[in-house]
Amino acid sequence: MKVLPRSFYSRDTVKVAKDLLGKTLVRKINGYTLAGIITETEAYRYKDDPASHAYRGITERNKAMFGEVGKAYVYFTYGMYYCFNVVAKSQRVDAGAVLIRALEPQKGITKMIRNRNTALVSNLTGGPGKLTQSLKITKSQYGEDLAKHSTLYITEGVPPNKVVLGPRIGIRTATDKLWNFKIKV
DNA sequence: GCAGAGATCAGCT
DNA sequence: GCTGATCTCTGCC
């Protein structure tokens, strides 16, 4: 399967979020492969988006959002969980990223079960904190290049059937922006 | 099956 | 000091 080129991420953040649905996220660890189809994403932009980490400017944590597109922005939240984003923005904008909220497990499901310590497949990758645990994504993947073969990258997948949009989850401001995208499984 | 507390880090109004 | 782009475990309030 072909790795998505960097130009894919060099477009408006909201468009990239929508287009990432149905693509495949691949994670290589010690020679084995974990993979899942992206089923839910959210767009986070910059100055026009009060809910975005980048809204108040660059910090030690969010500096990846201001860097090169197609790289991973991983952050630690609520004291215990990592969330996984892809840096994506048009040329005119300084910062932006797409949060990967959910996956449909494809490869290495038994490994994911071990990583997560649960027997339920439905509990593996159904949320941002869960999928990072299943795929062993931590701060060491911060800045990883997703546009080339490495230990973490995104390939082409299946065109999504039906896309559902809605307000983003877990935020208080900018809930009028319908920047959450998901597909039916 | 569902509501509520707890875990505990980085960045703030 | 409080709040959050979260999840799990508890108790039935």
The domains found in chain A, sorted by start residue, are 6-183 (3.10.300.10)
User: What does strand B contact on the protein, if contact means CB under 7 A?
Assistant: A 56-57, 59-62, 76-80
> Distance (Å) from CA A30 to C1' B4?
40
Distance CA A13, CA A31 (A): 32
pLDDT in tens, A133-143: 999 999 999 99
Distance CA A147, CA A26 (A): 11
Report the pLDDT value the prediction gives residue A143, as an integer from 0 to 100: 97
Report the pLDDT value the prediction gives residue A47, as an integer from 0 to 100: 96
Query: Does residue A104 register a pLDDT over 80?
Result: yes
Give the mean model confidence (pLDDT) for residues A41-69. 97
pLDDT in tens, A106-125: 999 999 999 998 989 999 99
Which nucleotide minimizes the distance between its C1' and the CA of A128? Answer: C6
Task: Give yes or no for a contact between A113 and A124, defined as CB atoms under 8 angstroms apart.
Answer: yes
In the structure, what pLDDT confidence band is assigned to residue A1 with cuts at 50, 70 and 90? confident
> Distance (Å) from CA A96 to C1' C4?
19
Q: Give how far Cα A81 sits from Cα of A26, A118, A132, A184, Å.
A: 20, 17, 8, 26
Query: Does residue A185 register a pLDDT over 80?
Result: no
> Distance (Å) from CA A171 to C1' C4?
8
Q: Which nucleotides of chain B have an atom under 7 angstroms from any protein CB?
A: 7-13
Give the mean model confidence (pLDDT) for residues A160-164. 93
Report the pLDDT value the prediction gives residue A136, as an integer from 0 to 100: 97
Report the pLDDT value the prediction gives residue A119, as an integer from 0 to 100: 87
Query: Does residue A62 register a pLDDT over 80?
Result: yes
Distance CA A47, CA A185 (A): 34
Q: Which of A47, A94, A70, A96 is nearest to A154 (CA)?
A: A70
Percent of all residues in chain A with a pLDDT value above 70, rounded to a whole number: 99
Q: Give how far Cα A130 sits from Cα of A49, A87, A106, A137, A160, Å.
A: 25, 20, 15, 10, 22
Report the pLDDT value the prediction gives residue A184, as an integer from 0 to 100: 82
